[in-house]
Amino acid sequence: MWDSTMFLSTLTPKFYVALTGTSSLISGLILIFEWWYFRKYGTSFIEQVSINHISPWISGEFNDSSTNGNANSNNVQPQIPECKVWRNPLNLYRGAEYQRFYVMTKKEPLTYYDMNLSAQDHQTFFTCEADAGHAEYEIMQTAWRERNPSVRLKAAHSALDLNPDCAPAYILLAEEEATTITEAEKILKQALKVAEANYRRSQAMQHQGALMESQHRRDTNVLIYVKRRLAMCARRLGKLKEAVKMFRDLTKEVPPIMNVLNIHENLIEALLEMQAYADVQAVLAKYDDISLPKSATICYTAALLKARVVADKFSPDIASKRGLNTAEMAAVEAIHRAVEFNPHVPKYLLEMKSLILPPEHVLKRGDSEALGYAFFHLAHWKAVEGALNLLHCTWEGTFRMLPYPLERGHLFYPYPTCTECADRELLPAFHEVSVYPKKELPFFIIFTAGLCSFTALLALLTHQYPDLMGVFAKSVVSWMSMPVYYLYEKVEGIMPSNLLQQLIRI
């Protein structure tokens, strides 16, 4: 038999230095290549080879593992847009909803930053240059920026005392003084009569100068805003057909304020409540266009409609065995598209994270938008049997498909890095802001890094203490060979000696 003790005794310290140095160099090269491959493709090379080539070879399955991960690379937009804050299309009423939450919990549902953005919006839409010299409108110019709610309400009443036809004052009272949606609707109906009269009056004089033109623009904004809030009151009170009709009429308007209000999202939500899925699909076909800005409502509603076709019969166990059919693949791809646009929504839909009242402004692709969407649309996902189960089974797969680093993007422009800071300004302090899921390092990169570090340490110790490390290496080899010797002795005791000699010769 081969004598390992004699072989080890002939090895010099230089051999151990060369061995550990070579091992360290090889593992370091593997680590560098693995890290480069991970940075470029978002996955481990060794892991990919194991899954795509070695595993099918062992199991006998030779499926084509090529994917179309880069099929949509042409859709990636080269420029990263800035974090733009939008008005929440489904924002609540301060007096009837936000104030009730504060009374019950003693927690402020809105941040000062969020309310200040609303004040700026109101000043932009409900004031104009022609207000100079009109005391009631001058009062309303400053009323929007008052921090104390009671001061704002007092200013609105003062403006109405001066001029009962001051529509912006009615808007403020409907938003903040009314304690129920019914009261808000009653005040808004008064505001609608006044806004329509002011609109007709300014429309007749809009060509008489720049001031009249600005006044007509303001009256148009007021009229559209009042109609939209009345439609939202009808939606809250369960008058769905009336709300849908009002939203449809508003979507036909073309003033600049329509670009801010996103009324089509209100229409989609009301149609989903009616379970008029064909009408929802028609609205999506109009607004889910490559040239139009996306939103969580657009992306997740498209995913919900595709999931509705297959969700009731979807089983992850069966799908893993037979693969996904065409309809299931379309649903999964739609979910991946939605999750890539806003990755924070699934945790709210799956109730892995608790909901709070949505803010008055949202940041697209941010946690604030996820809250604004999930607060109203969770019920629509629950209404479709199996939709949440399909979402639960597939949404995390999105992050394995995305390129790395995250600045690359896949189906959309790269995910903005500024969303967390903006969301912390928009959302209350008691809410834990969701952040973009970090991509974990594959096991083989961590293993290779540990192996490289370990062999490098051995090479250093061997170079510094060659004799001591030689003795240590001999002890380790002897200790590891003990089970082999023990097994050999047992086999030798059972089997004939001549058979073992023949095996050794072979």
Q: pLDDT of 221-253, one tens digit each?
A: 999 999 999 999 999 999 999 999 999 999 887
Most confident by average pLDDT, 327-336, 447-456, 486-495: 327-336
pLDDT of residue 66: 39
> CA nearest 456: which of 2, 29, 6, 8?
29
**197 token code pair:** 């009269």
Residue 76 pLDDT > 70: no
End-to-end, the C-alpha distance of the chain in Å comes to: 13
Return the percentage of the chain with pLDDT > 70, whole number.
79
Lowest mean per-residue pLDDT among 26-30, 177-181, 359-363: 26-30
Confidence of residue 472 (pLDDT cuts 50, 70, 90): confident
Q: Which of 231-240, 258-267, 367-376 has the lowest mean pLDDT?
A: 258-267
Q: Is the pTM of this model over 0.75?
A: no
Query: Is residue 445 predicted with pLDDT exceeding 90?
Result: no
DSSP for 417-483 reads SSHHHHHHHHS-TTS----PPPPPPPHHHHHHHHHHHHHHHHHHHHHH-HHHHHHHHHHHHHHHHHH
217 versus 314: the higher-pLDDT residue is 217
Lowest mean pLDDT among 95-109, 249-263, 286-300, 390-404: 390-404
Check residue 68 and give its pLDDT. 39
Radius of gyration of the chain from its Cα atoms, rounded to whole angstroms: 34
Q: Is the pLDDT of residue 102 over 70?
A: yes
* Whether the predicted pLDDT of 287 surpasses 50: yes
pLDDT at 183 > cutoff 90: yes
| Residue-range domain boundaries for the chain | 111-274, 276-440, 443-505
Question: Whose CA is closest to 195, among 244, 162, 228?
Answer: 228
Query: Has residue 5 got a pLDDT over 60?
Result: no
> What's the rounded Cα separation, in Å, for the pair 29 and 280?
55
The CATH label, of 1.10.3720.10, 3.10.290.10, 3.30.70.1560, 1.25.40.10, for the domain at 111-274 is: 1.25.40.10
As a whole number of angstroms, the distance between CA 410 and CA 76 comes to 6
pLDDT at 185 > cutoff 70: yes
